[in-house]
């Protein structure tokens, strides 16, 4: 069930239809760049120059200068040989899977990999094998058994639904020499690693078998998706129908994304603030006795008693001035759960006030049990 629609938003608040402003711990606008004045101005200026849509595939008549510049600048930012820009993160996974399917036949998928990775493997005609969450021994056994068909592992860098960092090093070790690893880094990009380069950098991996996909909608606060990696792989992605047969991100949003990357370069302290805020929120959750993943990511998920208990807690938090999403989204710790996201724009006081409200909202039997 979606959260009620909002009528306006800032980096840390949403305004509801009855005119109340709530501090939000939802959304994945990890640096508030969707509202950063420089990013908004870059989009506004470019909307005036380019209109609101490219209106055609880049391979026909929709290729605008900002698309090419963004690809080059994103490659430089990530330290990738090449980057391909596509309409969104979902399409990035489909393009990457289609590129992999030119040379490989089997997709290895964590059972909690983002649904778009499962969809992408199926859409690309890869034979999907699903291993238990984080169980790289099982993944290794499957990879060995199917090595002759060519194996590509497809996994989130940071799992969207529980905030866990994937064991990418072990997964890579589990692959045959000609294997491929596609890392969907929608939640690691601009949250983990030096300069926010993502989970692969955070884990210090440097391997030509790795390609990365990400949305530009979360850490960068814009829209679009990219496939980043070795030139030969990205060139293959450039020949897929997922790229060739889709209208690209509007040029104005490509301009906004370029400005977002510059903001991240100019304001490196954002990453530290995000990590401090994530640790602060996680620390509060632990002190409240909630069972949360310890990995240092800005996603904190947990359950509280029954579905009704969680709905009551959500309503109590809403009444106290906070939006804390209870979501029904695949891959989480339960069918329905709280998924909180923190950003570098939250003030520590907002996080502390939220934790106090959460303590009051937790149903008594749950607290007694913890």
Ligand X SMILES: Cc1ncc(COP(=O)(O)O)c(C=O)c1O
Residues in touch with ligand X (CB under 6 A): 88-90, 114, 116, 156, 160, 184, 186-187, 215, 217, 225
Nearer to ligand X, 89 or 196 (CB): 89
**To the nearest whole angstrom, how small is the minimum distance from the Cβ of residue 335 to ligand X?**
18
Indicate the residue whose CB is closest to ligand X.
89
Nearer to ligand X, 86 or 310 (CB): 86
Nearer to ligand X, 282 or 339 (CB): 339
> Count of CB atoms within 10 A of residue 103's CB?
13
**To the nearest whole angstrom, how small is the minimum distance from the Cβ of residue 116 to ligand X?**
4
156-166 core/surface letters (b: 16 or more CB in 10 A; e: else): bbbbbbbbbbb
Nearer to ligand X, 113 or 292 (CB): 113
Nearer to ligand X, 136 or 215 (CB): 215
Q: Tokens 């499962």 appear where? A: 118
Nearer to ligand X, 225 or 332 (CB): 225
**To the nearest whole angstrom, how small is the minimum distance from the Cβ of residue 312 to ligand X?**
27
**To the nearest whole angstrom, how small is the minimum distance from the Cβ of residue 237 to ligand X?**
15
Nearer to ligand X, 30 or 322 (CB): 30
Could you tell me which residues come within 8 angstroms of residue 256 by beta carbon, excluding any fewer than 6 positions away? 39, 40, 42, 43, 46, 222
Nearer to ligand X, 115 or 288 (CB): 115
**To the nearest whole angstrom, how small is the minimum distance from the Cβ of residue 233 to ligand X?**
18
**To the nearest whole angstrom, how small is the minimum distance from the Cβ of residue 12 to ligand X?**
20
Nearer to ligand X, 52 or 319 (CB): 52
**To the nearest whole angstrom, how small is the minimum distance from the Cβ of residue 278 to ligand X?**
17
**To the nearest whole angstrom, how small is the minimum distance from the Cβ of residue 165 to ligand X?**
13
3-state secondary structure the chain: CCCCCCCEECCCEEECCCCCEEEECCCCCCCCHHHCHHHHHHHHHHHHHHCCCCCCCCCCCCCCHHHHHHHHHHHHHHCCCEEEEECCHHHHHHHHHHHHHCCCCEEEEECCCCHHHHHHHHHCCCEEEEECCCCHHHHHHHHHHCHHHCEEEEEECECCCCCCECCHHHHHHHCCCCCEEEEECCCCCCCCCHHHCCHHHHCCCCCCCEEEEEECCCCCCCCCEEEEECHHHHHHHCCCHHHHCCCCCCHHHHHHHHHHHHHHHHCCHHHHHHHHHHHHHHHHHHHCCCCCCCCCCCEEEECCCCHHHHHHHHHHHHHCCEECCEECCCCCCCCCEEEEECCCCCCHHHHHHHHHHHHHHCCHHHHHHC
**To the nearest whole angstrom, how small is the minimum distance from the Cβ of residue 117 to ligand X?**
7
């Amino acid at each position: 069930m979606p959260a009620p629609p909002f009528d306006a938003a800032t980096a840390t608040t949403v305004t509801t239809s009855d005119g109340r402003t709530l501090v939000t711990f939802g959304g994945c606008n990890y640096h508030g760049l969707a509202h950063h004045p420089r990013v908004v101005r870059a989009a506004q200026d470019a909307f005036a120059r380019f209109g609101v849509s490219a209106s055609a595939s880049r391979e026909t008549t929709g290729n605008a200068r900002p698309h090419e510049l963004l690809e080059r600048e994103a490659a430089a930012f990530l330290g990738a040989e090449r980057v391909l820009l596509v309409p969104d993160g979902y399409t990035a996974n489909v393009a990457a899977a289609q590129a992999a399917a030119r040379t490989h036949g089997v997709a290895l998928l964590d059972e909690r990999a983002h649904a778009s990775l499962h969809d992408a493997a199926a859409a690309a005609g890869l034979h999907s094998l699903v291993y238990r969450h984080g169980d790289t021994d099982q993944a290794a056994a499957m990879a060995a058994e199917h090595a002759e068909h060519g194996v590509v592992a497809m996994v989130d860098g940071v799992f969207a639904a529980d905030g866990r960092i994937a064991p990418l090093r072990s997964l890579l070790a589990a692959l045959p020499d000609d294997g491929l690893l596609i890392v969907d880094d929608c939640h690691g990009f601009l949250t983990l690693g030096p300069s926010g380069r993502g989970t692969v950098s955070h884990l210090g991996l440097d391997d030509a078998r790795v390609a990365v996909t990400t949305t530009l909608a979360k850490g960068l606060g814009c829209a679009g998706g990219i496939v980043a990696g070795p030139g030969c792989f990205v060139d293959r992605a450039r020949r897929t129908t997922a790229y060739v047969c889709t209208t690209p991100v509007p040029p104005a949003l490509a301009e906004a994304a370029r400005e977002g990357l510059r903001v991240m370069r100019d304001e490196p302290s954002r990453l530290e603030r995000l990590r401090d805020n994530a640790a602060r929120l996680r620390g509060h959750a632990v002190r409240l006795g909630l069972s949360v993943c310890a990995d240092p990511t800005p996603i904190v998920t947990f359950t509280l008693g029954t579905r009704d208990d969680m709905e009551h807690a959500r309503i109590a938090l809403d009444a106290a001035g906070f939006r804390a999403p209870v979501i029904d989204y695949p891959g989480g710790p339960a069918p329905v759960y709280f998924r909180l996201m923190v950003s570098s724009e939250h003030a520590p006081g907002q996080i502390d006030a939220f934790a106090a409200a959460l303590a009051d909202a937790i149903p008594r039997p749950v607290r007694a049990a913890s």
